[in-house]
Amino acid sequence: MVAFFSRFREEDKIKHLTWSFWITVFALLFLSDVNSLLFAFSIGLSKEIWDHYYGSGFCLYDMTANCFGILLALVFDCILIFGVSLL
């Protein structure tokens, strides 16, 4: 279990999480929550498929980091909307 979480300290996983977060936040400006989630997920999956054929290989840890980034963006969106509605 410790080895699983230690993988997420790698710089590459932080980049996956960060890029997925910002892609989702940007998509939320124009798309619904579900479509934003699918958009960001499909970009991350496409990148991993590209890596499978032309890069370092498909990495499930990268996809997990992508999913965490998407989830954080959706939570951020909910907090932002809830906070604005309180004003």
In this prediction, residue 42 carries a pLDDT of 98
Amino acid at 53: Y
C-alpha pair distances (Å), 86 with each of 40, 64, 79? 29, 33, 11
Question: How do the pLDDT tens digits run along the chain, 87 residues long?
Answer: 556 567 767 888 999 999 999 999 999 999 999 999 999 999 999 999 999 999 999 999 999 999 999 999 999 999 988 877 665
Domain boundaries, the chain: 9-86
Q: Are the C-beta atoms of 62 and 12 separated by less than 8 Å?
A: yes
Instruction: Note the pLDDT of residue 10.
Output: 80
Phi, psi of 59 (to 5 degrees): -125, 115
pTM for the model: 0.86
